[in-house]
Structure 1
Amino acid sequence: MKYLFLLLVVLVVIWALKRGRAVNTSAPTQAKQAPKPSEMVTCAHCGIHLPHEEAVTGQKGLYCSTEHRTDAQDRNPG
């Protein structure tokens, strides 16, 4: 009975060590980086906020669409 209990303790320790290693290896080595927030701009016609990459450029400012640039009687710079 004493040996059976000792064997059970050894098996539990081995199981715990293997489980601990499996958790450590499955964790990512580098933390995922959050995407950088983009610069927000305001449409010169309607005032909506939008990312700078999506803005339409005019001579008088930035717009959310070409229709708003046209409505503001602005032209494409360049």
Structure 2
Amino acid sequence: MGLFRLLFWVAVIAAAIWLWRRLSRPAQRPTPKPDNTVPMVRCAHCGVHVPREHALHQNQQWFCSQAHLEQGAKHGDR
């Protein structure tokens, strides 16, 4: 009976300490992460996606490099 009483009081003290620590801390609000996504475009020649600021534009099509711009868009199953 003495062991049960000891375990009971240990559990009560542990719960009280946990509750006190939880209530004494200020509530932490999750900080919203900045939206730093970059618009991507698909190369009309090879299909690779590149950031729009690095892509080359011609005739409403985007290209990943000068070589692909010169070769033009591939016509096919893409």
Give the TM-score band, short-chain normalised: 0.3 to 0.5
Higher helix share: 1
| TM-score normalised to structure 1 length | 0.47
| TM-score normalised to structure 2 length | 0.47
